[in-house]
Amino acid sequence: MKKNLLSLASIFTLAVPALLGTAQAQEVVVGVPISSSGIFAFANLPARNGITLAAEEVAKSGELGPLKIKLLIEDTNSDKNQAVNLVNRFINTNKAVLILGSTSTVEAQAYLPIAQSKKIPALTQASGDVAVIGDWIFKANAAPAKIMESLALRYIKDYQPKRVAYIFNRDNESYIQQKDGVKGRFEQVGAKTLLEETIVGTDTDFSALVTKVAAQNIDTLVISTTGEVTANIIIQARQAGLPSSVRIVATPSAGSHQFLKVGGAAVEGVIFTSDYFIGNPSKLNQEFVSAYKKKYGIEPDNFAAIGYTVFKTAAAAIKSAGPDYSPESIRKGLAGIKNLPTILGNGSLTQTTARTPAYDGVVLTVRDGKFVPL
């Protein structure tokens, strides 16, 4: 009897960890450092909503079988040091096998090298060209500098800019790249750069700057900074006497509810490019819009759509990695994403060899307080 009990105990002792091990193998940890507060919250709050919605849909659909994704979403406070601490914690303590990132290039440039050095794949919606950091880093959306070029081409065709002024963030590489993307195309067709001025993300008083801009005989003002600051500059520029005939071109950061809320009537007519258009008639998009409105009570914006795409892309990569859910296997899954149906761009997402999808943006404008195609 004693012998039998000992045998049973041995089997139990051996079997329980094995069973637990199986159960653990059926859960992958995904870390999401995202600036839900602070100067980048205008983009990351909706992005977090998009990620959460997609995670719920994936869990409900059962498309990953018994596998569960444990999503750890933490606020970086728009502070790159906090983002670095979080990523270290996700990787070292929580044993995350995938990092999904913030839209902020400043933060991404700080924490992505950690993911790269620890060989943990990261899929980010950072606006800058951050995939160059290494072969473990992937972008879920096209580089804004590239889609800004497509905006420039469309703008040249429709409005033939002749005299242009630029205002851009000098403390954010992505906004410099986005400004350069437009400027390069404009100058190729002979548009003159009359003024090129810089700001930093925490500036609030633009009175001297916009008076200087208003005094130039320009037909186009390009503003490359966050959505809220773009709106603030436009309000102050119009009050400083910038003629209503001057068209204002902005970056995808303008595609946020916060931009409309802050800018009000002053941002009517602003032209910008977006990865996403809410009026896209595809079934996938209509279902997304409906689910988002049902869950959050508001319409999704560009960043919500990007966040949603980030998680859907991650889920597809994890699915293709199975049954081996190691970081290396998930990395291969991300690299192999091809023709994934998406709500962004032209409706299909394929990772390029540069680990960044390529598609043209949708050119939008603000009319009656809403985003509509130009």
Residue choice 204, 244, 339, 353 for contact with other proteins (CB under 8 A) = 204
Residues facing residue 247 across a β-bridge: 220
Applying CB under 8 A, does 221 fall inside the site for other proteins?
Answer: no
Applying CB under 8 A, does 215 fall inside the site for other proteins?
Answer: yes
Binding mask 141-180 for other proteins (x = CB under 8 A): -----------------------------x----------
> Interface residues for other proteins in 10-49 (CB under 8 A)?
37-39, 41
Q: How far is the CB of 121 from other proteins (least distance, A)?
A: 29
Order of strands across the sheet that contains 247-250: 192-199, 163-169, 220-224, 247-250, 271-274, 362-367, 370-373
Q: How far is the CB of 163 from other proteins (least distance, A)?
A: 16
Burial class (CB in 10 A: 0-12, 13-18, 19+), 4: exposed
Quote the CA–CA distance of 274 and 133 in Å, as a whole number: 24
Judged by beta carbon, residue 226 or residue 273, the one nearer other proteins is 226
Query: Which two tokens mark 115?
Result: 């993911």
Q: Which stretches of the chain are assigned E, i.e. beta strand?
A: 27-34, 68-75, 98-100, 122-124, 137-139, 163-169, 192-199, 220-224, 247-250, 271-274, 340-341, 348-349, 362-367, 370-373
Give the distance from CA 86 to its chain's centroid. Answer: 18
Judged by beta carbon, residue 45 or residue 318, the one nearer other proteins is 45
Applying CB under 8 A, does 193 fall inside the site for other proteins?
Answer: no
Binding mask 233-272 for other proteins (x = CB under 8 A): --xx--xxx--------------------x-x--------
The residues of the shown chain that bind other proteins, judged by CB under 8 A, are 37-39, 41, 77-78, 170, 197-199, 202, 204-205, 207-209, 211-212, 215, 228, 232, 235-236, 239-241, 262, 264
